Structure 1
Amino acid sequence: MLGAIGLDERQEAAYRTLVAAGAVELSDLAHRLALSEADAERVLRRLEQQGLTARSSARPGRWVAAPPGVALGALLIRQRHELEQAEQASALLAEEYRAEASEPAVHDLVEVVTGAGAVEQRFHQVRLGAATEVCALVTGEPIAVTGMGNESGERAASRGVRYRLVFEREVLSTPFGILELSAALNRGEQCRVVDRVPTKLVIADGSLAMVPLTGRGEEPAALVVHASGLLESLTGLFEAVWREAMPLRLGEGGGVRENRGGPDPMDLEILSLLLAGLTDASVAKQLDLGLRTVQRRVKGLMELTGVSTRLQLGWHAYERGWVARTESA
């Protein structure tokens, strides 16, 4: 837990031991931490340099911990200061980059990244830099594109970044794929499935995309596409596949299942009344339903269509033929 202020596991364990014990001899500390005395002394020397421990003046040969409120507080202040400086430097570099890239040349709109390590690193950078949304078309093992099991995805999710993912049906046939999909759904990521996706694809905030260049057996390579007509085309491709894909849900026991069914007759009645201008309470009274039942069904329809507002739900209802448009006289 103290790694953020520069302590490794040994140093944190030693400091916690000193805090709990009050004063400890070197041999005793080495025994408690299962270290050699030489290693334990190196740990103590490092803690001493950071102001976290000192030799006891009252009890020679023993080490004591500095008060956590004072010692750790000082380290936190230093860490915050360093982070502020790094943030300022990042802002200046970003400003310089924008100034240089205000009129980018055509060759600057697309990067070619080669080598497995370089592709993986660039991929994590793209997703870690996402501020609002990550969209992905997934083939093969889902861990290659989703937020599961890697630090960049977890950090993005913790910032409230939205995920919309479309998987090839082949993923559902592998046990590993099912586990990863279940984890994604548990995190609130929106997942859908189609028989086949045209290509692997990741888009961050609609401003940066990655697509693979090579097939199996060749050296991994990928295109990184910046804001351009090509990026707009890739975004349009994702949205087209997303609209046609079937939503995935967590079934009983946490298993993944497809939501193949459309609205039932009751859903259609609720939709029709809502589109006619009735409130949820009026719809519930009209159909002799509970208010929560109406709201739950509307939420289910929004999840089915992948929309976030009722206005969008109404548009999808018309487009999918769930309700008929009223012809003017």
Structure 2
Amino acid sequence: MDTLAAITAEIADLPDVVRVAEALAGSPARLRVAPLPAAARAPLIAALAQRSRAPLLYITINSDAALRAADDLRQWLGPEAVLLYPASDAMPYEHMSPGNEVISQRLRALQMLNDPKQHSPLIIVAPIKALLLPTLTPEELAGASTTLRLGQGLSQDALLRTLVRRGYRSAPAVEAPGELSRRGGIVDIWPSADERPLRVEFFGDEIDSLRRFDPATQRSDQRVEQALIGPPHEIPLWNRDQALERIAAVDLSGLRRESRAEWDAALAKLDLGERFEGRAFYAPFFRDLTNDERRTTILAHVPKGSAVLLSEEHMLAHHAGEIAEQAEAQRLKLIEQGELPPEFPRPYLTWQG
């Protein structure tokens, strides 16, 4: 019996599939493949990924559809070839932060798209809502990433200062992504995009050992030659001073007294660099609203030669419009209730940009 891998290879060699793959790999083109039964989408996308030299981005209508598509594609290509780029459960203007898993998966997808050593096939699966949430620019991601290498000369103090400035938080023991801990000549870090934390052992100002460890037992078990330490969050937390200035400039005269107290309390926590539920609500202030930086999506990270595959484009556009309508209705309601300043910047993108 043929394996799914063998069947994928056969599908990839079909003349029609070859023509579609060649068209996608050539000059920018807009193709419509129809009719295409739902059951045929996963094997076709897997076959296109096999023929592509660059990653593919596959957009679905919602999170459930993205999860199903990712699971189906892993059956055809294997677990390492498919990543999920999820959306937060929160709606725009809600005081709710994304969970660690959502942050980790989104950052992992961005890092893989920006890795020049990444080999195909690779498919990033995302619900349309995930594209409506701004993310780091490629320049911000690169500027907030550091590669550690075995034998590298590096000051512990300099490393810790850099990571704390980027938003990593100190903890007695590293148990969650975005945390770091120092014990003598050992620095533990959990890069948010990584599945497991990293233990960096110093000999003076030189990296003597790099090992992955189990956060439950705190025992190291895997030596590595180098490791990439990316940012702890999609919010550019290192822009905190600018964010505080922008927040302070907002006219709060229309807020209820209780809402003003909540705003002031959150501002104090942001000033101290604390992590708290609802911190993502203030994400727009960490970006320069005078240019298009805040409009960066995962599309800015898709390398040249990649294809963006839309599952039922008209339905995606309709659903994106519904999300925008619900968000605008919520904004107007909160302003009327005295819970949101009228000039609060829009925290999401629309289908048009």
Give the alignment's TM-score, normalised by structure 2: 0.27
Larger radius of gyration between Structure 1 and Structure 2: 1
Q: Which has the higher helix share?
A: 1
Give the alignment's TM-score, normalised by structure 1: 0.29
Report 1 or 2 for greater relative contact order, CA contacts < 8 Å, sequence distance ≥ 6: 2
